[in-house]
Amino acid sequence: MGKYENDVKRLLELVGGKENIQAVSHCMTRMRFVLVDPKKANEKEIEELPSVKGTFTQAGQYQVIIGNDVAIFYNEFTAYAGIEGVSKDAAKAAAKTNQNILQKIMGTLGEIFAPLIPALICGGLVLGFRNVIGEINFFNNGTQSLADISQFWSGMYNFLWLIGEAVFHLLPVGIVWSITKKMGTTQILGIILGLTLVSSQLLNGFSVSSTPASDIPVWDFGFAKVQMIGYQGQVIAAMMAGFVLVYLEKFFKKICPEVISMIVVPFCSLVPAVIIAHTVVGPIGWKIGDAIGNVVYTGLTSDFRFIFAAVFGLLYAPLVMTGLHHMTNAIDSQLLAIPPKTTILWPMIALSNIAQGSSVLAMSVLQKKNERAQQVNIPACISCYLGVTEPALFGVNLKYGFPLICGMIGSSCAAMISVGFGVQALSIGVGGLPGILSIKPEYYLIFLVAMIVAIVVPFGLTFVAGRIRLSAEHRFGKKRTETVPETETETVSDEKELKAILDGKVIPITEVQDEVFSQKVMGDGIAIEPTNNVVTAPADCDVSVVMADTGHACGLTLSNGMELLIHVGVDTVDMGGDGFNLLVKEGDHVKAGQPLIEFDPQKIKDAGHPCTTMLIVTGEGDASGIAMHTGMDAKAGADTVISWE
């Protein structure tokens, strides 16, 4: 009898049977299914299985979180189901065939913008601080700002524009770089193409609308003249130029002999791409971007703006779940590039974040005695109020249904207030409660009213609905039947601490850029931003599981029964083992400080993944009162990062 025989049989039934499985693989913690019809998966009953810690759907894959024993579970599942497992890459490829053309386009768009979001958030905060420093007249009867009365703050106001300009004016550089990264072509060529779009030799794109046509400089080729216009802040034009470069490079790589490709491919790709960007796709992209921006702006300022706002506020959260919301980043950026160089769209997005977070807050109050639910509710609420909604949407609101709807209603009400009074933002990127920093100062008060509505309405509706709809089990929790290993060690170590597994900054697990870890689905723990490249054992322990094919993770078991998971990098399973060297095997007994995994940080970064390394307590064993120690610069084997009573 297999260890997970009952759960394996039940899971096969609940995902729709063998005929509904197009492909299946696994990583260190999760079963990854590509389903023929995802709707046949009974998510509620799957999550009730003793060995399942949660589920979610990402990039066309239905992922079932198992934990350290996922390899055992996977082997039993494929053997019972009579299905041959595939590699992670094959599963990803199969998942793409499960997407329609719109999902593929939105997925690509999302992958292009995702690496830019941290910069947009930072730039938005910077411009928000500039608003407070130089745009709000707090002093001398409302006639002067902090920058007007203080030389220091005047200098700071001017200095901060250095960052704001780099983020928003030079955005095309980031966009073209991200496209080349996503498409697997030469990233430095993308950066150079982006720089040619925002060169100081060109008329700044933000100044084009105020410059007479006769004063716009040109390149005169005798037979033709080309306007020397920069594309600062332009999104559509930059994206079109980036894809021109990508497909030119792929074409020349395909036809060019390897012996001369280093010389021919970059030249034949970059030079034509720059010419086409400034003569063809740039002007076309500018027109398209302006058209989209003008249509949206007209809708937001027309007599029908209340209807537009109500619908947008209601539907934005579902858009996030489909990935379609990434299009709003392009539209918002375009709105900031055309007069009046503000956006009415972004305030509604910030309000939607707040509304969904308020629904989670109500759920947290309702489920305050449900410890398992609170492990998801609390971090999801905090991240949502800070502008990151996916943990709240997928981890809480969509799961129960009614909190999502209550948040949508609150978002719709708040959006109508915001748009009705013409609230405008000077920048994008700062969502949730901090979003007020991006608002033009004259609209602070009305936006604050809209924020209150976005908090009170969803909270009240969710609380009332939850009192009616939530069962006692959901409100107060229940003890789950856990799958217990057949053999357990009887000796208990006197050690009550785990040492750092790497040199580097120790951060809370909630800051990891992976929802499974940041929501503590696998368990609580810490993460380290490494400054070295060898992972060592945090204590004397046994190696209980390894990812032999990828080498990026391993599971450990202490003598007191505590189970640990070490995971190097975020989404590094996609690297297929490139850059990793697993130094131990399953069943080894290791001493504290003994090397476990060696990795190449540069390869991880080049593959587009963070090097953040997680140390997770997946099973407490006999330990109690477990405490996480973060915020320090730790030395591997020397500093305590986790302790217990």
Is there a catalytic annotation at residue 122? no
Cα distance between residue 414 and residue 455, in whole Å: 9
Residue with tokens 């956006």: 343
Number of C-alpha atoms within 13 angstroms, CB side, residue 2? 17
How are beta strands 541-546 and 589-590 bridged, if at all? antiparallel
Cα distance between residue 91 and residue 97, in whole Å: 10
- Beta-carbon contacts of 298 under 8 Å, excluding residues fewer than 6 positions away, are none
- Options 27, 268, 381, 413, the catalytic residue: 27
Q: How many helices (H) and strands (E) does the chain have?
A: 24, 20
Phi, psi for residue 439 in degrees, rounded to 5: -85, 140
**Nearest partner of 124 among 452, 436, 568, judged by Cα:** 436
Cα distance between residue 83 and residue 15, in whole Å: 14
**3-state secondary structure at position 620:** coil
Residue with tokens 């700071």: 156
CA distances in angstroms from 239 to 289, 417, 446, 628, listed in the order given:
11, 34, 35, 43
Q: Tokens for 637, please give them.
A: 């084997």
Cα distance between residue 41 and residue 57, in whole Å: 11
**3-state secondary structure at position 546:** strand
Cα distance between residue 344 and residue 312, in whole Å: 12
- Beta-carbon contacts of 621 under 8 Å, excluding residues fewer than 6 positions away, are 558, 560, 561, 562, 563
**Nearest partner of 65 among 475, 375, 508, judged by Cα:** 375
**Nearest partner of 5 among 82, 72, 84, judged by Cα:** 72
Residue with tokens 């105020």: 210
Residues 287, 337: contact at Cβ < 8 Å? Answer: no
- Beta-carbon contacts of 483 under 8 Å, excluding residues fewer than 6 positions away, are 3, 4, 7, 50, 51, 69
Phi, psi for residue 393 in degrees, rounded to 5: -65, -50
Tell me how many degrees the CA angle 57-59-62 measures, rounded to the nearest 5. Answer: 30
Cα distance between residue 470 and residue 159, in whole Å: 52
Residue 379 host element (H or E)? helix 371-385
How are beta strands 497-499 and 589-590 bridged, if at all? unpaired
Cα distance between residue 594 and residue 592, in whole Å: 6
Residues with active-site annotation: 27
